[in-house]
Amino acid sequence: MGLNRSVRWQGLEVETVEHCDITTHAAGRHVRGAIVAPAYGLFYALELDDTLAVRSAVIERTDGKTLALHADGSGNWTDENTTPCPDLTGCIDIDIWPTPLTNSLPIWRSRWVQGEPQRFTMAWIDGNEMTVRRNDQFYTRLDARHFRFQNTDGFEQVLELDDDGLVTDYPTLFKRL
């Protein structure tokens, strides 16, 4: 699916504003975003391959902290120095806090049957701490515009999406502007 557009979100629990550009090209998709948070600004750039698996993620904060990860699309990761990241083995997608954009990644690349949950092992990136860890998440398609999101910490929300699979409403956390 070709997707070329810009979107903006407002953070509700943490007061943020985000602008994100998504561009489709022959080899996959570029995603670039900027988030203004109370304590910092954060830029992220993602490269997705033609299966929409994450191949690289670069996160840079305005205070100079950076995090770069590279993937082979099959669940093997390295850092910016090409050092393997064995704790992330098996992760295909990433989830960056604080953006709802990365909730779209598993939704975009998966086939869905209404009511059947799917489990995803994510490389979860904390933009506050600039750390990454493994995190299991579950998504269940409820209908064409709604997915139940759950993680293993007991957190659960129903996400509302647009026709492009982008979050329009993430109750208590994000709202599309």
- The residue among 36, 150, 174, 3 whose CA lies nearest residue 100 is 174
How much is the pLDDT for 2? 81
Residue 28, both tokens? 């996959």
How much is the pLDDT for 1? 56
How much is the pLDDT for 160? 98
Q: Convert the pLDDT of each residue in 99-135 to its tens digit.
A: 999 999 999 999 999 999 999 999 999 999 999 999 9
The mean predicted confidence, pLDDT, of the chain is 97
Residue 88, both tokens? 């992330």
Query: How far is the first Cα of the chain from the last one, in angstroms, to the nearest whole number?
Result: 24
Q: Convert the pLDDT of each residue in 25-37 to its tens digit.
A: 999 999 999 999 9
- When divided into structural domains, the chain yields a total of 1
- DSSP annotation string for 3-29: --EEEEEEESSS--EEEEEEEEETTEE
Report how far residue 151's alpha carbon sits from residue 136's, in angstroms, rounded to the nearest whole number.
6
Please give the model's pTM, rounded to 2 decimal places.
Answer: 0.95
Q: Convert the pLDDT of each residue in 131-176 to its tens digit.
A: 999 999 999 999 999 999 999 989 999 999 999 999 999 999 999 9
Range of the domain at 81: 5-176
Q: Convert the pLDDT of each residue in 11-64 to its tens digit.
A: 999 999 999 999 999 999 999 999 999 999 999 999 999 999 999 999 999 999
Report how far residue 85's alpha carbon sits from residue 3's, in angstroms, rounded to the nearest whole number.
31
* Signed CA dihedral, 101, 105, 106, 107: sign only: positive
Reduced to 3 states (helix: H, G, I; strand: E, B; else coil), residue 82 is coil
